Structure 1
């Protein structure tokens, strides 16, 4: 396995993460600027490499919904034991909506629920309906997991993770599902079993598309007025939109670059 703190290893991992994005044909990029965010945070037991969890996160990005991620990778105990008690088995994804009291297993059931309750139309778009006649995960979805070498599928050192326990306050990660750099951070959070609030910051317009500091716009960038990105720029992100962005209230740490975030996670929670 490549070391993400090594320049060569980090570049390889970034390429693998970008390949995952391409295999998903850009799903998890765009979303509504005016999400119907519930009062109480949605809770999702998942792990990064799971193709079924990915389907749910892509829908969350489309709806631009924030949620609390409780990483439950194989061999893990920090949240996985809790998942077994709540769901009756260690199956992800598993959604808890404290706004309605609903608890849902199965990726398609979760997706249909999210669009029914938190979309303006109240119905599941065709591209988010069942992907195959089999197990709801298409070949391209499964290949996307393989392309990232299944990172995030298994706890890195479960005994140490369990002994460390949960952070006193959940971390906050700002980004969007399809970003390969956000994926690298989510993979590490999953391996370390560190819970966090996933703040979906979907691209809301063509001008939001870009990478490496460039966007497809002429002149100064302007987010959609009243949209989620504009609110973030005027609030927590202080006029700078760059993802991933990590806030750790336990240490008063704020970081932007994925490589720096991963190094911080290794040092603080590894």
Structure 2
């Protein structure tokens, strides 16, 4: 039975090692985080987004390919002085919103304020928010466009009304299928277009639909408006817009599709480059061009913390319920509980507990790790990005024999008796047990208890 259990554990551990090596890490980047307050966004514990990796780039690219040629090139019916668009309430992952954004790119429009309107956005929950729509179901309809018609502001709700408005001002979008083509061919192409409308949401499943747990709480004052040069069909622009939606941060959109006059404007700003996305932040004076750099910057300045690898989190959700009871049984056995001398075993564990108590009292933040564990690497990266001082205590490369340190099994068993957790990473703040990465550190950052513990408020 024990051999079967060990084999099972090895299988699952191998699974997460494969995941860790196939998916690039968030990296350890030195960011200057200030102390964060308690988040009051509605719970979104399952939504743990991350810095884009190669998989994100691939799926975002496929999403762009699925919608070609829409949202990429400025069309001939764009006007040099279009009527002002005051605001667009938008959800990045919505098919209807995507159709509107595509047309905005093709018409080379500027949107004064794009208001992210994810399911649990402050748009629907915070009555003090400048862009609050309401809590009833009628207010939840997006996209929603506010336009200036002479001296009157008009609100258009739903993609159909917005597209109709664009047609009235700019004319109809050129048909994809020639009017002279056979009727059957037009029907087939129309069906394919309808099918392709849903592919981006499939490729980018669950991104840009919900405010993430790391988003700043509504109590934080909104900054001056960020400015984003972007166009809908660009895969890297999509990654940035997703994060802006998930962090609930409004911004000014300057469309810069292929053929846009705004590319000259962008070239003047950058000294020759017309690369999108391009973010300008008047709050800090920073201008950033690379999508990954932009997203790291957004997490640094407009989030509670930089989240770790989201797919590793999904794997943790699967493995933890299976492996936790297994580890609980194996840890004492590995430490020698099955030996004949029970008194010696108990004395060894007592000594390990004393050492642990000394260690967690030696620094405000202490984390126990394995050097080969991707979960441990991600946990220390989160702490690094917070720019807080901490002590890392490694129990070896991994928990298995020949990889764990000489005193590792005893410490593992002692941690299990002290906290009920034998898996690593294991975080302590001000001597108090916080737990692992996904079940402890991240929730503590999201609800603010991490910072309370760090300040010494243990209530």
- CA drift of 1:11 comes to 0.8
Q: Does 1:230 align with 2:283?
A: no
Correspondence for 1:112 among 161, 164, 168:
164
TM norm structure 1: 0.77
Distance 1:74 1:52 in 2: 15
Matched-pair contact (CA < 8 Å) for 2:118–2:245: yes
Correspondence for 2:148 among 95, 98, 118:
98
Q: Does 1:43 align with 2:64?
A: no
Q: Structure 2: which 5+ runs fail to align?
A: 1-22, 28-49, 127-131, 177-186, 304-459
- Give the match for residue 107 of structure 2: 63
CA pair 191-37 structure 1, distance change in 2 beyond 3 A: farther
Matched-pair contact (CA < 8 Å) for 1:29–1:178: yes
CA pair 85-98 structure 1, distance change in 2 beyond 3 A: farther
CA pair 53-147 structure 1, distance change in 2 beyond 3 A: same
Three-state SS of the structure 2 residue aligned to 1:254 is strand
Matched-pair contact (CA < 8 Å) for 1:77–1:158: no
- Give the match for residue 283 of structure 2: 250
- CA drift of 1:241 comes to 1.1
Matched-pair contact (CA < 8 Å) for 1:23–1:144: yes
CA pair 243-124 structure 1, distance change in 2 beyond 3 A: closer
Matched-pair contact (CA < 8 Å) for 2:231–2:257: yes
Q: How many residues are aligned here?
A: 238
Distance 1:159 1:93 in 2: 22
Distance 2:51 2:288 in 1: 22
CA pair 49-80 structure 1, distance change in 2 beyond 3 A: farther
Correspondence for 1:188 among 240, 243, 254:
243
CA pair 8-44 structure 1, distance change in 2 beyond 3 A: closer
Matched-pair contact (CA < 8 Å) for 1:4–1:262: no
- CA drift of 1:150 comes to 2.3
CA pair 72-8 structure 1, distance change in 2 beyond 3 A: closer
Matched-pair contact (CA < 8 Å) for 1:171–1:249: yes
Higher RCO, 1 or 2 (CA under 8 Å, sep at least 6)?
A: 1
> Deviation per CA, 1:196-215, whole angstroms, max 9, x where unpaired?
011100102xxxxxxxxxxx
| Residue range with higher mean Cα deviation, 85-94 or 150-159 | 85-94
Distance 1:165 1:177 in 2: 29
Three-state SS of the structure 1 residue aligned to 2:267 is helix
> Deviation per CA, 1:45-103, whole angstroms, max 9, x where unpaired?
01110110000000001101011210010111156651237994211100001344211
Distance 2:226 2:51 in 1: 28
Correspondence for 1:18 among 61, 66, 70:
61
| Residue range with higher mean Cα deviation, 175-184 or 142-151 | 142-151
TM norm structure 2: 0.47
Correspondence for 1:143 among 193, 199, 215:
199
Q: Does 1:76 align with 2:121?
A: yes
Distance 1:164 1:38 in 2: 34
Q: Structure 1: which 5+ runs fail to align?
A: 205-223
Distance 1:186 1:51 in 2: 14
Distance 1:260 1:232 in 2: 18
